[in-house]
Every structure is written in C-alpha cells, then in structure tokens.
Amino acid sequence: MPSSHVLPVNQDTLTASAVAAQAQAAVRVHSALDSGPRFSPLYRQIKTLITESLKEGQWRPGESIPSETELAQKFQVSQGTVRKVIDELASEHILQRRQGKGTFVATHQESRVQFRFLRLRPNEGPPKAQESEVLDCRRLRAPVDVARALGLKAGDAALQVTRRLSFGGVPTVADEIWLPGVAFRGLTLERLRSYKGPLYAFFEAEFGTRMIRCEERVSAKSAPSEVAQILGISPNTPLLAVERLSFTYSGQPCEFRRAWYLTSEHHYFSEFV
C-alpha cells in the first residue's frame, strides 16, 4: 500500500477493478482475515482516498476539487460511483456542491456555516450582533481532564484561551478554550485579537486544523464567582455549563471548550430527526 501518492490510484484495488469492470467480485479483496466475507465497496475505498487527501491538505478549504468526470477517470470508475462518494461527503458538510461551478472543500468562512455551531439563540427577536473579547491566552501544561479530553499526556503543552462573548452588548458567554500545544504553535493573544471572523475560520486558515464535528455536554450549574464577575451577574445565578469537544478530519480531538451560558435572554437550541 504505497502512501507516497494519494492522487495516483491505489494499484491494489482500483486498477484491478478497471480491468474487471464487469466482474467486480474479483476485485473485492476479502479481508484475508477469517472474520468472514467483509469487503469494501468501491465507493468506500474512494471515499477513504478522498478523505485522506483532504486530511493531508491537498485541497484546502474553499478550493475546488477535481470534477466528477476527472475523478472518475483518475480512479477508473464510473461517474455514478464518484457521485455517491461526493453525495456522502456533502451530506457530512465536508464538501459542498455548486451546480455549474464544481465541488468545493467546505470552510468555516461562510456565514451559513457559522450558525451551525452556534446553538445559542435569542428567546425573542432576530439574532443580535455578536462581540467576542479575548481575555487571555497562555501556554500551560495540560491538566489531567483536559489532557484526557484532547488525547494528550497530562503535562503536555497546551494553550488556554479565555473569552467573553456578548450579544447586543450584553455579556452572555464566558468560556475557556484548550488547544493542543503542538498543533497550535505560534498562537498568541495578539494574533487572536487581530483576527476578524469566526474562531474556527482562524484555526483553519492559520493552523490548517479544520473542525468538522463536535460533541457538547450540557448541565445546569450555579455561576462560580469568577464567571459571575466576567458576565457581570450575581454569583449563584443558574447557568448552562457547556463542554464542547471538537474533532478534525481524522477523528482526532482538536479543541476542548468549557463554557458558561447565561440563558435569561437566550436559549440553547437543538433539533433532531
């Protein structure tokens, strides 16, 4: 399995399928292990290859990837098979199709994306203007819980960013963001403050770390005094305590957030099907 080339076709599986286009079964490499006839359909193999390319930054966020027909030729499969791959990646918000233009790598730069990860909505009226103040940014050794969340060893280098978010001038969120030190080498308070736009767009543009998925764990707690001070509220006000763990392409955790949401004028919105 040559890892030297991601664009070139995986010789083992794909050229074989080209030769035996009619007899696909011949291509299906049953995983030589004894665990039964598990095979990977072509579109899965190709999805893996394309995901690898994205992981390695071969096509960067906002750029276009090759057309369906080009990819079909490259992988020696039909356009329909490539389509199925792109359909899936588009439904995962990893790629984005634009009819007549091409297929693009999704990015956090777009306005519609920014709202997908902002679950806080005003109880009434339209969304207010958001203001973000970076209070601090320091390089520390990862505490045990942070290290476990990020898949680091306790004591590894980590970055801690503290912020205050306000909506329409009202302080509403206080949070603490933890990042792995190695991936975010060179992050400073100044760079954070000078960047305009969403944090994830900053991460993706400046550090090549693209967040594609995240988990949140929410509970209700009384405001600790430090948090109450930041938000300008009285201690023991009930707040939402939101822990967010974000993941990048590879499924690697890339950010851990501990946030406090004031929900007197806002609420946390969640929809499911």
| Residues contacting residue 136 through CB under 8 Å, at least 6 positions apart | 160, 161, 162, 189
Q: Which is nearer to DNA, 73 or 264 (CB)?
A: 73
- For DNA, the binding residues in 40-59 under the rule CB under 7 A are 41-44
Q: What are phi and psi of 26, to 5 degrees?
A: -65, -25
The answer to whether residue 25 forms part of the interface with its own copies (CB under 8 A) is no
| CA pair distance 38, 42, nearest whole angstrom | 13
Based on its alpha-carbon atoms, the radius of gyration of the chain, rounded to whole angstroms, reads: 22
Among 77, 187, 223, 241, binds DNA (CB under 7 A): 77
List the single partner that 246 binds among its own copies, DNA, none, CB under 5 to 8 Å by kind.
none
Among 183, 216, 224, 258, binds its own copies (CB under 8 A): 216
| CA pair distance 162, 175, nearest whole angstrom | 6
The answer to whether residue 91 forms part of the interface with DNA (CB under 7 A) is no
66 within 8 A of 74, measured Cβ to Cβ: yes
157 within 8 A of 181, measured Cβ to Cβ: yes
Dig out the tokens for 234 from the structure. 């009285």
Q: Show the site string, 66-105: x = touches its own copies by CB under 8 A, - = not.
A: -------------------------xxx------------
Q: Are strands 211-222 and 238-248 parallel, antiparallel or unpaired?
A: antiparallel
The answer to whether residue 128 forms part of the interface with its own copies (CB under 8 A) is no
| CA pair distance 154, 218, nearest whole angstrom | 24
Q: Which is nearer to DNA, 102 or 122 (CB)?
A: 102
Amino acid letter, residue 156: D
List the single partner that 212 binds among DNA, its own copies, none, CB under 5 to 8 Å by kind.
its own copies
List the single partner that 119 binds among its own copies, DNA, none, CB under 5 to 8 Å by kind.
its own copies
| CA pair distance 46, 53, nearest whole angstrom | 11
The answer to whether residue 81 forms part of the interface with DNA (CB under 7 A) is yes
Q: Which residues bind DNA (CB under 7 A)?
A: 1, 3, 5, 17, 21-25, 28, 30, 35, 37-39, 41-44, 65, 67-70, 76-81, 83-84, 86, 97-103
